[in-house]
Amino acid sequence: MLALALQPVDTTPFSQGICHTIIKLPAQKNCFSAKEPDFRDLIIRSIDPYKKSILFLQRAYKKYDLVMVKYVLWLMVACLYIFHFLLFWRVVSGSTDAKTTVFPSKMGRGKVVPLPQRATPCSRCCLTSQRVLRTNLQLRKLKIDTYAENLVCFTFDGTSGSLFYKHLTKFHPVYGHYLEMAKKFLTAVFVQSNIFRASKGEVVWIISDDCTISHHIIKILHDVRIPFLAHSIEKKSRSVSVLVPNFHFIEKVGYKQMQDRIRKVSLATKKKPLVFWRGSTTGVPCSVPSLFGRNCSHKCEEVQRVELVRRSSEIPWIDAKLSNFVQWCKGKEFEHRNLLGKHKPESFWINYRGVIEIDGNVDSWGNRWRMVSGSVIFRVESPYISSFSEHQIPHEHFIPIAANFSNLKSSTKIITSTVPADTQKLKDIAKNAYEYGSKYTYSYEVQKVAQEIFSIWGESFALFS
């Protein structure tokens, strides 16, 4: 910062230049000097609009040689510098890519509200969520800090258009991309829905694969008007949570481009009378007690997906292979090389009349695009529920397969049938699935979640006409 001081003028050209520029004094007179040459032009530009006042002070100084005149001039230039410095700082600090949106509205015509650029971390936000998690005795018994890692609170202030977040429990950096997707989605929820202009509140979301948490915690948060968001949660914990789309859906903006591309190819493709599946070995061994029994030893062979491929290898109309060995099966490709197959993109799946859907670490996040693929989904029973699957009906939108694969062969055999009643049934299921899945666009999910959050925050309205 420029330091101006009363001192004898030194003999450097810069100091004399400043003096002569401002009050045009001879070198032997006392003047104020600048220690930072970089600010010379700034000072000159700062005093330019006030030349008349400075000329008056120049004449008074030369005529009366008054010390007071010198101090007044010094003070005026100092004030001008401070004013211009603050103006410059405001311009610099405000020159970001932040956007604004004008809500048309009931809040007054043309009111400009900042559009948050995703969420930003904060230290003094989400105070209600923190208080609830720290003081509630029931949550203490459940050991919330270890019971639900990656628990993140988001808070939105509609009057300022600000969205912030705070980690309530330990957060694993591996889920950093998921966090970015959550911020993207909530920014859309609070802004695009255009209903939170005068609202303020908090929401809580577990940013990891699995959102399952005790239903008691969800209920306690709900009672203090804090919605618990869940993209994949076990049915037993559903409670009053708000179901939101998973992070793949958010990243691909509702699979819009993929849906259009798949639909065009599907209509022009004659589907093979086979059931197809490719996937990695995600999942936990012994997750299905009725499949492996009580003596399950937690090995790669006891991962549900591995067992699916093993059993499918004995059924001629099922083409199911493992494309990647991870987690419990990492490094065991050679042992199970007969189960290994190359990865195939989504556009390849639609060449088959049927496709299998099975859980990995949680429910299958590709359900949304498979619903509009034109192929019949054979879904393995799952303990999870999601925003898309909650209202899907067996034999109307998909054909169910038992979690222990007891009916795998009998339920999939229909794919080879040429009986008109069977082929019509498959066409009807594929059509119903397409109509159901097409409804779940990115915009629809944004509005649906916005309605539920707004309702919990204590307001009531009819979002859909």
Q: What is the CATH number of the domain that holds 378?
A: 3.40.50.2000
**Who has greater pLDDT, 29 or 80?**
80
Amino acid, single-letter form, for residue 351: N
Token pair belonging to 325: 């060995």
Average pLDDT over residues 44-63: 54
Both 241 and 259 in one domain: the answer is no
Q: In this structure, how many other beta carbons lie within 10 angstroms of the beta carbon of residue 217?
A: 24
Q: Are strands 376-380 and 399-401 parallel, antiparallel or unpaired?
A: parallel
Both 14 and 157 in one domain: the answer is no
Both 295 and 373 in one domain: the answer is yes
User: Residue 352 pLDDT more than 50?
Assistant: yes
Give residue-wise pLDDT tens across range 168-210.
988 999 999 999 999 999 999 998 777 888 888 999 999 999 9
Tell me, what DSSP letter sits at residue 178? H
CA dist., res. 156 & res. 160, Å (int): 9
CA 121 from centre of chain: 13
**Who has greater pLDDT, 107 or 337?**
337
**Is 375 inside a domain boundary?**
yes
Both 273 and 223 in one domain: the answer is no
The domain boundary residue, chosen from 219, 245, 271 = 245
pLDDT classification of 70: cutoffs 50, 70, 90 = low
The sign of the dihedral angle between the CA atoms of 372, 376, 378, 382 is: positive
Both 296 and 362 in one domain: the answer is yes
Both 66 and 47 in one domain: the answer is yes
pLDDT classification of 72: cutoffs 50, 70, 90 = low
Of the chain, the percentage scoring pLDDT greater than 70 comes to 70
Q: In this structure, how many other beta carbons lie within 10 angstroms of the beta carbon of residue 127?
A: 12
**Is the entire prediction scored with pTM above 0.75?**
no
Both 229 and 268 in one domain: the answer is no
Q: Which of 386, 459, 445, 457 has the alpha carbon at shortest distance from 193? A: 445
Residue 381 and residue 402 in contact, taking contact as beta carbons nearer than 8 Å: yes
Give residue-wise pLDDT tens across range 18-38.
444 444 444 444 444 434 444
Predicted local distance difference test score (pLDDT) of residue 194: 77
Q: In this structure, how many other beta carbons lie within 10 angstroms of the beta carbon of residue 21?
A: 12
Average pLDDT over residues 338-355: 92
Give the residue numbers spanning the domain of 13: 4-94
Predicted local distance difference test score (pLDDT) of residue 25: 44
Both 284 and 354 in one domain: the answer is yes
Q: Where are the strands (E) in 168-287, listed by range?
A: 200-206, 228-230, 233-234, 242-243, 272-280
CA 22 from centre of chain: 56
The number of distinct structural domains making up the chain is: 3
**Is 432 inside a domain boundary?**
yes
User: Residue 90 pLDDT more than 50?
Assistant: no
